[in-house]
Amino acid sequence: MKAALLTLLTPPLAACRYGCAGCCAAPIGVFWLTGIISILYGAIWGGPAEGTGWQTVLLGLGLWGIASLWATLTIRGADEDKCAEGTSTLCNKILPAAAESDPFDEVRKAR
């Protein structure tokens, strides 16, 4: 319940807290902040037209919805990818094998 509410209200925070793909929080945050700015611009300042710019407000709500949906998919993908077990293909870092040589050593040998 807490994760669902956090996903609706602050999608970047939910993606960062409940998903293991922290790199997704930044683009989700861009969509979310742009949605908030669009809602405020349309409702308070009227958008590009006089009065309330309902198209701009709807654009902001759509962007907020996209951010919430993206955060939901990120959290669900993190749960399915088993990030806590360390067997994740998404969250593991690519480390060289023990028998693999250092590329900088190869460059130094070429000189």
Structural domain boundaries of the chain?
2-110
Report the percentage of the chain scoring pLDDT > 70. 79
Model confidence band, residue 26 (pLDDT cutoffs 50, 70, 90): confident
The model's confidence at residue 18, banded by pLDDT at 50, 70 and 90, is confident
Record the pTM: 0.68
Q: 1 exposed, middle or buried (CB, 10 Å; 0-12, 13-18, 19+)?
A: exposed
**Confidence (pLDDT) at 83:** 54
Confidence of residue 31 (pLDDT cuts 50, 70, 90): very high
Asked whether 9 and 71 are in contact (CB, 8 A), the reply is no
Q: Could you list the beta-strand ranges (E) of 8-49.
A: none
Residues in Cβ contact with 29 at an 8 Å cutoff, skipping those fewer than 6 apart: 11, 12, 67
The pLDDT tens digits for 73-109 are: 888 877 665 555 555 555 555 566 677 777 788 888 8
Amino acid identity of residue 13, one-letter, is L
pLDDT of residue 89: 53
Q: How far apart are CA 72 and CA 11, in angstroms?
A: 8
Banded model confidence at residue 24, pLDDT cuts 50, 70, 90 = confident
